[in-house]
Amino acid sequence: MTSTTIPLPHLIGFTERNGNWHAEDLSLADLAKEFGTPLYVYSKRALTEAYQAYDRACVDASGKRRARIHFAMKANSNLAIIDCFKQLGAGFDLVSGGELSRALAIGADPSSLVFAGVGKSADEIAQALKAGVKCINVESIAELHKINQVATRLQCRAPISLRVNPDVDAQTHPYISTGLKDNKFGIAYHEVLKTYREAALLSQIDIVGIDCHIGSQITTTAPYLDAVDKVLDLVAQLKKEGIEIHHLDLGGGLGISYGEESPPDITEFTNTLLNRVAERGFGHLDIVLEPGRSLVGNAGVLLTHVEYLKPGAEKNFCIVDAAMTELMRPALYEAYHAIVPVQSKPVKSVTYDVVGPVCESGDWLGRGRSLAVEEGDLLAILSAGAYGFVMASNYNTRPKPAEIMVDGKNVYLIRQRETVADLFANESTLPKQTHSPLG
């Protein structure tokens, strides 16, 4: 299937005007000229509008807040982006000590931080407890006991929530499905009550919540409602046993349109979930939502220059200066991203595989794309704001790209482009030997 049969995603902040693509009020061609390529470009307007779409459903008609948004930082952890969300009122979902440090670096309130992740180290647990996070989401009985041990050593209380694996099919790519019984995440549904009972007996543990996250890039509401109902059944049973749950963490994972997908409207989706919680009689709980991709995915593009057009016997290749090192998703998931020329030209369209310079056959960014381009032209890879830069690597000793944020007519450099010297600044060669090591 070629790109001519797949519609472009609906974008806020990125538009084509008279054959030229813009980020808000600035030309992408001008931005590439100023900052070079490969280049990540984000729209502040797109970030803001996506957040507000969630927030509209989080406040009821009387003005009472019925849910809080915690941005899942793993989707994009640039300081400028998480600071933008902090200014809008977001808390954060963290999955590493490094992400905790990033949140604290922008002045996030520790009580707005939820620390998740399946393999937290003792040092990371201690870091979270010392910071005073809202909650640590527990993913195994072994982790529960480690948290209690660390809290005992630190002489503090550990607020915890158990992450429930509800065995619900999120109908998404198997690599990003997290709520099935054969996934590594969470505590098996039939083990949850027993684990809460065990947690209640531990000396330094405070049970504060229950958590559920079933996957990413989910484009229907039904799996969420199935998971919500199963988790609320547990909350009701726990109450009967005298274990009070104070907050319900519904996770994130709502998908975006990369082209063909039709995910539910963010506000309608959020209202549907929150209404289900209220209808079940649990509207008094503190509700936490943890969107990631749906806040940032369509708020970013990756700009890349065409280096060579290489015709082949069976395929034509458009070789660009971006690669799997800048955008891993196509190589990792066979993910689709729309690719468009930044400036339209009256040249013949040809079907190309868009590939990078990395020495791997898996280094491709788009297959079978109909593009009217010439060598030296600029392409925009759309919907690259989530799981783009955060998954970048230095493979083949390639410096990571710059990142910029556009706000109307203003542009801000929010990450300097790496240099090759940066890549080996912390390396060293072995000492010179004056004689043979064998004597």
Within a 10 A sphere around the Cβ of 118, how many other Cβ atoms? Answer: 15
Report the share of the chain in percent with pLDDT over 90. Answer: 85
Binned average pLDDT, 10 residues per bin, the chain of 439 residues: 69 95 98 98 98 94 92 98 98 98 98 96 98 97 97 98 81 45 74 96 98 87 91 96 96 91 92 94 95 97 98 94 98 95 95 97 96 97 98 98 98 98 96 72
Residue 253 assigned to a binding site: yes
Point out which residues pair with 207 in neighbouring strands: 160
C-alpha torsion 212→197→125→84, nearest 10: 30
Point out which residues pair with 306 in neighbouring strands: 320
Angle between helices 266-279 and 222-240 (to 10 degrees): 30
pLDDT per position as a tens digit, 279-308: 999 999 999 999 999 999 999 999 999 999
- Residue 349's closest CA among 372, 332, 327, 321? 372
Beta-carbon-side half-sphere exposure of residue 178 (alpha carbons within 13 Å): 22
- Angstrom distance (rounded) from CA 3 to CA 367: 9
- Residue 390's closest CA among 37, 79, 3, 124? 79
Decide if 342 contacts 374 (C-beta within 8 A): no
CATH number of the 3-43+297-419 domain? 2.40.37.10
Residue 153 assigned to a binding site: no
295: amino acid identity, one letter = L
Q: Report CA-CA distances (Å) from 103 to 100, 113, 155, 365, 434.
A: 5, 8, 24, 31, 49
What single string gives the DSSP state of each residue in 225-239?
HHHHHHHHHHHHHHH
- CA end-to-end span of the chain: 65
Could you give the residue range(s) of every CATH 3.20.20.10 domain in the chain? 109-291
Residue 157 assigned to a binding site: no
Please enumerate in sequence order all residues whose Cβ is within 8 A of that of 3, keeping only pairs 6 or more positions apart, or say none: 338, 339, 366, 368, 369, 370, 371
Beta-carbon-side half-sphere exposure of residue 78 (alpha carbons within 13 Å): 29
Residue 291 assigned to a binding site: yes
What single string gives the DSSP state of each residue in 388-436?
SGGG---TTTPPPPEEEEEETTEEEEEEPPP-HHHHTTT--PPPPPSS-
Using DSSP, state whether 133 is helix, strand or coil.
coil
- Angstrom distance (rounded) from CA 353 to CA 318: 6
- Angstrom distance (rounded) from CA 331 to CA 364: 6
- Angstrom distance (rounded) from CA 280 to CA 296: 31
What's the predicted TM-score (pTM) here? 0.93
Decide if 113 contacts 103 (C-beta within 8 A): yes
> In this predicted structure, what is the pLDDT of residue 171?
55
Residue 415 assigned to a binding site: no
CATH topology of domain 109-291: TIM Barrel (3.20.20)
Cis peptide before 38 (omega within 30 of 0): yes
- Angstrom distance (rounded) from CA 69 to CA 54: 8
Decide if 337 contacts 366 (C-beta within 8 A): yes
Please enumerate in sequence order all residues whose Cβ is within 8 A of that of 362, keeping only pairs 6 or more positions apart, or say none: 324, 331
Indicate the pairing of strand 20-23 with strand 14-17. antiparallel
Indicate the pairing of strand 317-320 with strand 339-341. unpaired
Decide if 41 contacts 23 (C-beta within 8 A): yes
Residue 124 assigned to a binding site: no
Residue 290 assigned to a binding site: yes
> In this predicted structure, what is the pLDDT of residue 60?
86
> In this predicted structure, what is the pLDDT of residue 192?
94
Could you give the residue range(s) of every CATH 2.40.37.10 domain in the chain? 3-43+297-419
Q: Which residues are catalytic?
A: 359
C-alpha torsion 138→139→140→141, nearest 10: 20
> In this predicted structure, what is the pLDDT of residue 339?
98
